[in-house]
Structure 1
Amino acid sequence: MKKNILAIAVAAFASQAVAVELYNAQGTTFSLGGHVSVALQDSEKGDLDVGAVSPRINFNATNDLGNGFTADAKGEWSLNLLEGGEESFTTRLGYIGLTHAEFGRAVVGTQWAPYYDAAGVTDMPIAFANDSIYLSAQALGTWRAEKMISYRNGFDFGNAGALNVGFGWQGASEHTFGSGATELTKKFDDRVQLALNYSIADFGLNYAISTGDVAAKTAEAHVFSAAYGSYGSGLYLAAMFEIGENAYYLDTDDKSATPEEVFEDTHAVELLAAYSLANGVNLSVNYEKVSDEKGNSDLLETSALQAEYSFTSQFQGFAGYQFDLADDGDNQWKLGMRYYL
């Protein structure tokens, strides 16, 4: 049985990433990357303005250690492009990894979690993507995981497909939610993750679990997903279903969620269909819903139509219109540009 390490573990969901290599000699490389993304945006309840669309800058370094081992390091920061202030940069990623073709890959630091390997298959379009993932507090580590140790490896069965396995662990920590009278500090005990992927030809099936106690209560999430094809290359289809226990927060910013905004029993579903034409146009439609099963209500329900166009490998245009399907919904649109550094 032949083992091989997943490319997705080295650069998760970065099929469109562009980096400028500044140095490559004697087994060592260094590159800079990221993107600047801005959009004209408006909604039924808001005002027309210009907004940033997750811009970032990063550095990437690798070093050949010999005997099949490669070390790598990555630092990535969000950019505050449109407003002045003290916080121009905030940390997105920062880790050191060690990879071997047979022994797999280990990573230490703030990184994309193994759970996201399964949950992120629908998180692809630029303008409107998988909001449900980011409703869970970042402290749970279900998307970008802080201070995590992870390990991934793969088993290749030839024509029978491949099985990929990922593990993640985070130590105990404390996180403060809310502010003023609603401020509360919660103790997060050790958290663990397991992710499984089986792929054959252009199909992939995924399962992941994230679990651990928060303030003496179990905060656990299970995600099942499937995908066909490669986003941005012909037909791409993806679906995700998640079951959460104390794993969802009403606000996407974990620092502003209050204790009352934690939901005990949630279900989330997202569907994505995209098709990339030969002329560089990529069209997509998605649907997303997060339900509070105990309260018998929906936290969100949306659907979006989107188009992206690659003028060059480094410059893209995008447009999207998102329908808010809630009773008092707030439909919105974006028209923007993305320049890869």
Structure 2
Amino acid sequence: MKKTVLASVIAGIAFSGQAFAVELYNSEGSTFSVGGHISMGIGNDPVDDDLEVQSISPRVNINATQDIGGGFTADAKGEWALNTLNGGEESFKTRLGYVGVTHDTWGRVVGGTQWSPYYDVAGIADMPIAFANDFLYVQGGELGTARAESMVSYRKTFMFGDNLDLNLGAGWQGDNGGYGDRGQLGLSFDLGEIYVGYVFSTGSQAGTSDDAMANTLSAKYGSYGDGLFVAVVYEIGDKFRNATGGPAYDSTSVEAIAAFALANSLNFSLNYESHEDDDNSVTVISQMALQVEYNFTPAFVGYAGYQLDLGDDVSSDDDLYALGVRYYL
């Protein structure tokens, strides 16, 4: 596979979604770039089903790297959600903010609000623009399953020949808005086009004396947007999530996606998601979406999607649709 931890990190900093960020400075081992994306389209409101103008997760970010000697490279990232539809004082909201240090041999350490090692494993199906993995974001910041708040993490890739990589990831969160110490540990293998991962999370959760634990398995084949891509994520939670307003419950969650991209970049996908409250026998999420995306240019992407509500016990069971474009900075 011939990749290094540092190369992966620099790629993650330099890229914004599917397109290069705008590099504003590159001299004497230091870089600075600006990235992000803005989406604009139409779709129906999930509450009243009315047609509305929508913007899907718009953001802007700044990225910097610096060679600090001894084979170490430091990097920093700040990312803010944009309020593109309404004016007012709350135009920006923090999504990411961290400082990292990376070495090809010793690995990578990051401190701050960041995409977690848990998400490295569990987020492999979270790909389409319009409709994707929802359950990971239920308390995703506090539990560290998506953009983990106040986390210190470590990652290291061990390479065994050209086609086998072992990826190790670990994270720790201290006191965080009523949540106490939390930890997570992930392991994954890259075998050419095949990926298999496992991640475990445990620690205290607000409002309960029980530890909130989860075990997640994931697997994928291929790369999203490049021919055939298939991925599945299976999470078993022990008093882990709370998506209904009550105490945390035992849960079972599944996300699966199959996508195929043609040579002209037209990408068709079908994804399925479910999230079950096993303690109370309640279906919280049950949905399937058919979506298509097309790259007019690497930085300008069109999308359309229709999500079928397959029936749950907490919502009005309305189907959702979306049509629009995303521009990558």
Which TM-score tier does this pair reach, normalised by the shorter chain?
over 0.9
State the match for 2:288 in structure 1.
Answer: 303
SS at match of 1:216: coil
- Report the AA paired with residue 245 of structure 1: D
- Report the AA paired with residue 54 of structure 1: S
> Does 1:330 pair with 2:318?
yes
State the match for 1:193 in structure 2.
Answer: 184
> C-alpha separation between the residues in 2 aligned to 1:224 and 1:239?
8
- Per the TM alignment, residue 136 of structure 1 is displaced from its structure 2 partner at its CA by 3.5
- Per the TM alignment, residue 318 of structure 1 is displaced from its structure 2 partner at its CA by 0.2
> C-alpha separation between the residues in 2 aligned to 1:120 and 1:309?
22
- Report the AA paired with residue 240 of structure 2: A
Pick the aligned partner of 2:231 from 224, 228, 238. 238
> C-alpha separation between the residues in 2 aligned to 1:266 and 1:161?
33
Q: Is the 8 A contact 2:16 2:36 kept in 1?
A: no
SS at match of 1:106: strand
> C-alpha separation between the residues in 2 aligned to 1:264 and 1:229?
34
- Report the AA paired with residue 222 of structure 2: G
Q: Is the 8 A contact 1:40 1:334 kept in 2?
A: yes
State the match for 1:73 in structure 2.
Answer: 76
> Does 1:5 pair with 2:17?
no
Pick the aligned partner of 2:299 from 300, 314, 324. 314
> C-alpha separation between the residues in 1 aligned to 2:241 and 2:6?
29
- Per the TM alignment, residue 17 of structure 1 is displaced from its structure 2 partner at its CA by 4.0
Equivalent residues in 2 for 1:15-54, closer than 5 Å:
16-42=18-44, 45-54=48-57
> C-alpha separation between the residues in 1 aligned to 2:52 and 2:132?
20
Which segment is superposed worse, 196-205 or 128-137? Answer: 128-137
> C-alpha separation between the residues in 1 aligned to 2:163 and 2:20?
33
- Per the TM alignment, residue 232 of structure 1 is displaced from its structure 2 partner at its CA by 0.8
> C-alpha separation between the residues in 1 aligned to 2:194 and 2:6?
15
Q: Is the 8 A contact 2:45 2:52 kept in 1?
A: no
- Per the TM alignment, residue 297 of structure 1 is displaced from its structure 2 partner at its CA by 2.1
Pick the aligned partner of 1:119 from 107, 118, 122. 122
Which segment is superposed worse, 328-337 or 133-142? Answer: 133-142
The unaligned stretches of length 5 or more in structure 2 are none
Equivalent residues in 2 for 1:1-341, closer than 5 Å:
4-5=4-5, 11=12, 16-42=18-44, 45-159=48-162, 161-174=164-177, 187-214=178-205, 215-250=208-243, 258=245, 260=246, 262-326=247-311, 328-341=316-329
State the match for 1:182 in structure 2.
Answer: none
SS at match of 1:121: coil
SS at match of 1:270: strand
Q: How many residues align?
A: 320
Q: What are the superposed Cα offsets for residues 225-267 of structure 1, whole Å, 9 maximum, x if unpaired?
A: 001111111111100000112222226xxxxxx4x2x341100
Which segment is superposed worse, 4-13 or 119-128? Answer: 4-13
- Per the TM alignment, residue 216 of structure 1 is displaced from its structure 2 partner at its CA by 2.4
> C-alpha separation between the residues in 2 aligned to 1:213 and 1:56?
31
Of all paired residues, the percent bearing the same amino acid is: 51
SS at match of 1:122: coil
Q: So what's the TM-score if we normalise by structure 1?
A: 0.89
- Runs of 4+ in structure 1 over 3 Å off: 6-10, 12-15
Relative distance call for 1:246 and 1:9 in structure 2 (3 A) is farther
> C-alpha separation between the residues in 1 aligned to 2:31 and 2:59?
20
> C-alpha separation between the residues in 2 aligned to 1:237 and 1:4?
25
> C-alpha separation between the residues in 1 aligned to 2:305 and 2:59?
21
State the match for 1:179 in structure 2.
Answer: none
Q: Is the 8 A contact 1:137 1:248 kept in 2?
A: no
- Report the AA paired with residue 127 of structure 1: A
Q: Is the 8 A contact 1:263 1:292 kept in 2?
A: no
> C-alpha separation between the residues in 2 aligned to 1:98 and 1:270?
32
SS at match of 1:173: coil
> C-alpha separation between the residues in 2 aligned to 1:247 and 1:87?
31
Q: Is the 8 A contact 1:21 1:31 kept in 2?
A: yes
The unaligned stretches of length 5 or more in structure 1 are 175-186, 252-257
> C-alpha separation between the residues in 2 aligned to 1:310 and 1:279?
8
Q: Is the 8 A contact 1:5 1:100 kept in 2?
A: yes
